[in-house]
Amino acid sequence: MSLFKRKTKRSVGQQIVHMCWPVMGWKRTALYYLYRLKRLKDQPLEVSMGIATGVASSFTPFIGFQILAALGVNSLLKGSSIATLVGTLFGNPWTFPFIWFGMFKFGRFIMAYSAPWVPWPPSVDLAHLPPLSFHFLWTHYGDVLIPMLIASVPLTFLAWVTSFLLIYTLMRMLKSRPKTGQKFVKNSK
């Protein structure tokens, strides 16, 4: 007999619903993660660099290497590795389609202005896009991957700076607050 098992097992449908929609509700889940951030033992600067590196790695087109790239860059920046792993959760099945589509369109925009000798539009038309497969990506890498690579450089930098500033401000506010049950005490010396 296990101590932490459920009495009644969830059905497959319930498991899928609970993966997509938190049982506790969105507000309580958000507060839970804020408290987890507050309890991290690292300094706000280290946590902010870690999360920013994880978020920025989501703006690279290389699926599967994003966590490794984030941990490698984080080791150079001396940030929090746990926070980096948390930051990589920004790239998930809900956000990746928007990130990749935005990178693709932004990359095509950059290439149209920086390389006028390149014939645009390329052979890939978004309105008549064939089924996405590895064979399609391998044969059309110049039409799909190159614009995404070009766009990933400024978008990664922008994502890092934005998330760093937001998380650093939030972490400083969380760490400067007194713990529950404590009052602000003025020194009257």
pLDDT digits (tens, 9 = 90+) for 95-112: 888 888 888 888 888 877
Identify the sign of the CA torsion 161, 162, 167, 169. positive
How many domains does one find in the chain?
Answer: 1
For 149, the domain range is 41-176
Rounded distance, CA 57 to CA 63, Å? Answer: 10
Structure pTM?
A: 0.66
- CA proximity to 151, closest of 113, 120, 116: 113
Rounded distance, CA 162 to CA 122, Å? Answer: 32
Within a domain: residue 172?
A: yes
pLDDT band at 125 (very low <50, low <70, confident <90, very high): low
Within a domain: residue 34?
A: no
pLDDT of residue 165: 94
Structure tokens that stand for 84 in this block: 């980096």
- Model confidence over 4-31: pLDDT tens digits? 677 788 888 887 777 677 777 778 877 8
Rounded distance, CA 168 to CA 79, Å? Answer: 12
Rounded distance, CA 179 to CA 177, Å? Answer: 6
pLDDT of residue 128: 61
Within a domain: residue 186?
A: no
Within a domain: residue 29?
A: no
pLDDT of residue 107: 86
* DSSP alpha helix (H) spans, the chain: 12-20, 26-39, 44-57, 66-77, 81-87, 96-114, 134-139, 141-176
Q: Among 14-23, 75-84, 110-119, 155-164, where is mean pLDDT lowest? A: 110-119
Looking at per-residue pLDDT, the higher value among 80 and 166 belongs to 166
Rounded distance, CA 77 to CA 54, Å? Answer: 12
Within a domain: residue 17?
A: no
- CA proximity to 91, closest of 80, 75, 81, 102: 102
Within a domain: residue 142?
A: yes
Orientation of helix 26-39 relative to helix 141-176, angle to 10°? 70
